[in-house]
Amino acid sequence: MQLLNSFGKLFTQRSTRRAVVSLVVFVLLWEIGSRSKEWLGFALPWIGAVPAPSAVLKVWVGLLDDPGYWQSWYLSLFRVMAGFIAAMVIGIPLGLLMAVSKTFNRLWFPSFEVLRPIPPLAWVPLAILMLPGTEPPVIFVTFIAAFFATVLNTLLGVQSIDRSYFRAAQCLGFSRKDTLFHVVIPGAMPHVFIGLQIAMGLSWVALVAGEMIAGKRGLGYMIYDAYSMVQIPTIIMGMLTLGFLGFFSSAMVRYLGRRLMAWRSY
C-alpha cells in the first residue's frame, strides 16, 4: 500500500505531468508522421514507412488474449531479474572487497578489466556450449551485462568517499567492521544504485540479443520471429513492451535506493 501511495504522489508532481504531456505529443507526432501520405498527400521520409501507433495498439490489443504473449512477457522478466539479482548479490560484495583490500584488488582487477570490455553478445556461444538447457545461457548473458557495471560502480563508490571520514572513524576507535558498515557502505550507496540502474538497462539489452540467438520464447524471440515474417507492428509492439518493462524495473531500483538512502537529499 505504501508503494502505491508513493507512485500516487509521483503522478501528482509537475515533472511527471510534463513527462506525460511530452509522451502524448510524441505519440501524436508519430501518428501524423505515419499517416502523412493519407492525411497530407505525401509520405515523410523514414517515419512514413513506420506503422502508426493506432495500428500497433490494434495488434497489441489482439495479443492480450494470446497466452503466448504473456508467457513471453513472464519469461523475459524472469530472465532479467534472475541475472540482475545474481549480479547484485555477487557484484556488490566483490566491488567492496576490491575497494577495501589492496591485495585482492591487485590480484583480480587486471582480469576484471580484461573481461569487462567483452560485449555480452560475445558470451552467448560460450554460454550455449557450457550451460545446459535453454534458460541458463540467456540468464548468464543478462548476468554478465549487469555484473561488470555493478562491480565497477561499487568500486568507484568506495573510492569516491572523502578520506576524512576514514580518519574520523579511526579517531573514534571504529573497528574494520564498524568502518565497513558505518562509512564504506553508506558512502558508496549513491554510486552503487547508479550502477544498478545502469546494470538493469544493460540486462534488458543483453536479454534481447540472448533470446534472439538462444531463446525459444521471450520478447526478444518474439521480435525476431516477427521480423522473419515481416510483421512490423508486432516488432514495434515488442519493442514498446521491453521499453515499459525496462522503465518500471529501473523505477523500482530508484525507489529502493531512495528508501535505503532516506538520509540523502534528492
List own/partner pairs for 32-41 with CB under 8 A and 24 or more apart. none
CB atoms within 10 A of CB 22: 10
Cell of 90: 555477487
Question: Does residue 44 share a domain with residue 56?
Answer: no
Tens of pLDDT, residues 126-170: 888 888 888 889 999 999 999 999 999 999 999 999 889 888 888
The arithmetic mean of pLDDT across residues 185-192, rounded, is 90
Question: Does residue 62 share a domain with residue 143?
Answer: yes
Question: Does residue 12 share a domain with residue 77?
Answer: no
Question: Does residue 26 share a domain with residue 134?
Answer: no
CB atoms within 10 A of CB 183: 19
Question: Does residue 148 share a domain with residue 175?
Answer: yes
Give the residue from 50, 71, 88 where a domain finishes. Answer: 50
Residue 165 has a pLDDT of: 87
Total domains, the chain: 2
Question: Does residue 124 share a domain with residue 9?
Answer: no
CA 28, chain centre distance (Å): 27
Question: Does residue 130 share a domain with residue 4?
Answer: no
Q: In terms of residue numbers, what domain contains 26?
A: 1-50
Give the residue from 15, 30, 50 where a domain finishes. Answer: 50
Spatial distance between the Cα atoms of 37 and 241, rounded to a whole number of angstroms = 28
Question: Does residue 46 share a domain with residue 75?
Answer: no
The arithmetic mean of pLDDT across residues 105-109, rounded, is 91
Can you give the pTM of this predicted structure? 0.83
Which residues have a Cβ under 8 Å from the Cβ of 67 and sit 6 or more positions away?
none
Cell of 112: 576484471
Question: Does residue 94 share a domain with residue 18?
Answer: no
Residue 266 has a pLDDT of: 45
Spatial distance between the Cα atoms of 169 and 166, rounded to a whole number of angstroms = 5
Question: Does residue 79 share a domain with residue 168?
Answer: yes
Tell me, yes or no, whether 9 lies in a domain: yes
Q: What is the mean pLDDT of the chain?
A: 85
Question: Does residue 110 share a domain with residue 180?
Answer: yes
Spatial distance between the Cα atoms of 91 and 148, rounded to a whole number of angstroms = 7
Structural Rg of the chain based on CA atoms: 22
Give the residue from 50, 68, 88 where a domain finishes. Answer: 50
Tens of pLDDT, residues 26-83: 888 888 888 877 766 777 776 767 888 888 888 888 878 888 888 888 999 999 999 9
